[in-house]
Amino acid sequence: MANSDLMEKLVSLCKRRGLVYQSSEVYGGLGSVWDYGPLGVEFKRNIKELWWRDMVTNRPDIEGLDAGILMHPAVWEASGHVEGFTDPLVECKSCHRRFRADEVKDQCPICGVKGQFTPPRLFNLMFRTFMGPVEGEAAQIYLRPETAQGIYVNFQNVLNSSRQKIPFGIAQIGKAFRNEITPGNFIFRTREFEQMEMQYFVKPGTDQEWFDYWRHERLEWVKSLGVRAEKLRLHQHTREELAHYAYDAYDIEYEFPFGWQEFEGIHNRTDFDLSRHQERSGKKLEYFDPATNESYVPYIIETSGGVDRQMLVVLADAYREEEVEGETRVVLGLKPELAPIKVAVFPLVKKDGMPEVARKIADDLRSRFPIFHDESGSIGRRYRRQDEAGTPFCVTVDGQTLEDDTVTVRDRDTLKQDRVATSKLVEYLSEAIG
Ligand code: GAP
């Protein structure tokens, strides 16, 4: 399958199965914003919940936070974003389309005219808006371009209320906004997206060790989602690539259908952020170490991933087509813990009392697993729909069910069907789903 075909197929499957829709589609769509449908929202929640489980719940050294999207504008002055969160922008003098300077060469990709770009100018990626009823410079604020700053300005609050000791981390998941010059590639680069970020506060001098630790942890976590190791690699930033706050950085990259691209970064931000906020706010953002009686501004190792990009990694990696009995079977081979629907329940045919039994089984399972119940259409087509949605197990009520109270459980990947007593169904599925 050609790579461009794979992206087209993914976009179309996401719409068909209710994973992702174009925003404001009835009005022709809003560029670079996407809406998550019934299955998409479950899939996204699963990714976020696994991240939260592994980064917060299961770790004694990391606390959670949920800071506001809107923050005091001084935050973005101090963080360097007002001055430095820019991309170089060029405009084609012929068709007036604008591009990121590093994404075009001599020829305009839209009208094809050569040598007609304006000199690059710096374009700030932060969205601006106004707070309160008066518009003007005094009321201007920003939609956050990263969630990290909400953590830095709450460093002392969390330290005081949690009684953590360095090294410790603060994690949060939330929306971020960037007025990207050239968004694209479906949910890869959008103007509104979600981040899962964790800031780990360490003693200066131990930062390299923690930087190495988190790089390894995060790569292993992505593999634990079932993403193939050979499609993943680490890329260390060159001096030119480093963000204004970073001393060192690695990207975790995936080989997307449109090439190798990053979807998570591990950054050594040193004491850049806390020092800047301390200086600008006049408030102490130091840590007092009772063991050594010294105070210092901690260094920060950041792990910063995009929820939407992580979803695209998993989707692209899980998509496969197989020939079965002369037909093409499309499968999303999601790990059961990531699948939006864990179990689908069907009557084999819509008669002979089978629908009633299937409905009862569906009702009994509903409080245990996200389930889907479907009665109409051929059983083959119902199975295919669930394969596309990534549903790992399909339970079917057939003629034999009415005689001996057993059902078949079909495995999405092996296509094997086990006969299971309905009284043992929850136990069987709980074990299989994990
Ligand atoms: N706090 C550090 C930071 O924001 P970043 O590399 O600019 O670092 C982190 O962004 C992650 O956020 C990226 O790895 C990516 O997954 C996600 N991300 C950034 N810009 C994005 C966009 N326009 N659309 C979707 N995801 C984006």
Task: Indicate whether 243 and 156 sit together in one domain.
Answer: yes
Mean pLDDT across 75-103: 94
Residue 237, domain member (yes or no): yes
Q: DSSP 3-state assignment of 384?
A: helix
- Do 47 and 173 fall within a single domain? yes
For residue 103, is pLDDT > 90? no
Domain residues for the domain of 396 are 341-433
The answer as to whether 100 is a domain residue is no
Mean pLDDT value of segment 57-81: 97
- Report the pLDDT value the prediction gives residue 2, as an integer from 0 to 100: 67
DSSP string, 328-377: EEEEE---TTT-S-SEEEEESSS-TTHHHHHHHHHHHHHTTS-EEE--SS
**Mean pLDDT for the chain overall:** 96
CA angle 287, 292, 295 (to 5 degrees): 25
As a whole number, mean pLDDT of residues 48-76 equals: 98
Query: What is the domain-level CATH number for residue 364?
Result: 3.40.50.800
pLDDT at residue 135 in the model: 84
If you average pLDDT over residues 385-397, what whole number do you get? 98
Asked if 186 and 312 touch (Cβ cutoff 8 Å), the reply is yes
38 and 167 housed in the same domain: yes
- Is the pLDDT score of 3 beyond 80? no
CA 398–ligand 1 middle distance (angstroms):
49
C-alpha torsion 339→41→256→86, nearest 10 = -150
Look up the CATH number of the domain holding residue 55: 3.30.930.10
Q: Domains in the chain: how many in total?
A: 2
Question: Which atom of ligand 1 is nearest to 267's Cα?
Answer: 2
User: Is residue 140 one of the residues assigned to a domain?
Assistant: no
Probe target for ligand 1 pocket from 75, 251, 269, 304, with the most ligand atoms within 8 Å of CB:
304
Is 357 domain-assigned? yes
Question: Side chain identity at 152, as an amino acid letter?
Answer: Y
Work out whether the CA dihedral 249, 250, 256, 259 comes out positive or negative: positive
What one-letter code names the amino acid at 281? Answer: S
| Average pLDDT of the residues in 247-264 | 98
From the list 268, 277, 279, 297, the residue with the least C-alpha distance to 149 is 277
Pull the structure tokens for residue 41: 């929202």
Task: Decide if 311 is inside a domain.
Answer: yes
Same domain assignment for residues 269 and 170: yes
Q: Is residue 173 part of a domain?
A: yes
The pLDDT of residue 4 is above 80: no
What is the radius of gyration, based on Cα positions, of the chain?
25
With a pLDDT cut of 90, the percent of the chain lying above it is 94
**Pocket of ligand 1 contains residue 87 by CB under 6 Å:** no
Report d(CA 340, CA 364) in Å as an integer.
18
Nearest CA to ligand 1 atom 25: 189
User: Residue holding tokens 């022709």?
Assistant: 28
Any atom of ligand 1 within 6 Å of the Cβ of 81: no
